């Protein structure tokens, strides 16, 4: 189910925080982020994001030596 506030929009900017809340299953915002991303995946709207999003998502995993997590984020965002 797409959130009411997203319904009238054909294109939605997805900020880095939304991806982080979704990937890390944030206790307060993870569910809402997941619904928004699922709606995007279902084609209910087109998503756009900054070219900095991938950098912002991968910096922490790379600092922690988690190349596997950084690679997974890149894969998820590119497909």
Query: Residue 37: which of 29, 28, 54 has the closest Cα?
Result: 29
Residue 45: pLDDT above 90? no
Query: Residue 32: which of 14, 50, 58, 57 has the closest Cα?
Result: 14
Query: pLDDT: is 27 or 41 the higher one?
Result: 27
Residue 1: pLDDT above 60? no
Q: Domain boundaries in the chain?
A: 4-78
Write down the pLDDT at residue 3.
65
């Amino acid at each position: 189910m797409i959130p009411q506030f997203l319904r009238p929009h054909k294109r939605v900017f997805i900020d880095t925080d939304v991806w982080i809340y979704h990937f890390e299953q944030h206790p307060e915002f993870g569910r809402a982020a997941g619904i928004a991303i699922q709606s995007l995946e279902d084609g209910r709207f087109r998503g756009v994001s900054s070219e900095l999003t991938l950098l912002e998502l991968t910096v922490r995993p790379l600092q922690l030596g988690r190349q596997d997590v950084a690679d997974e984020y890149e894969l998820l965002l590119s497909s």
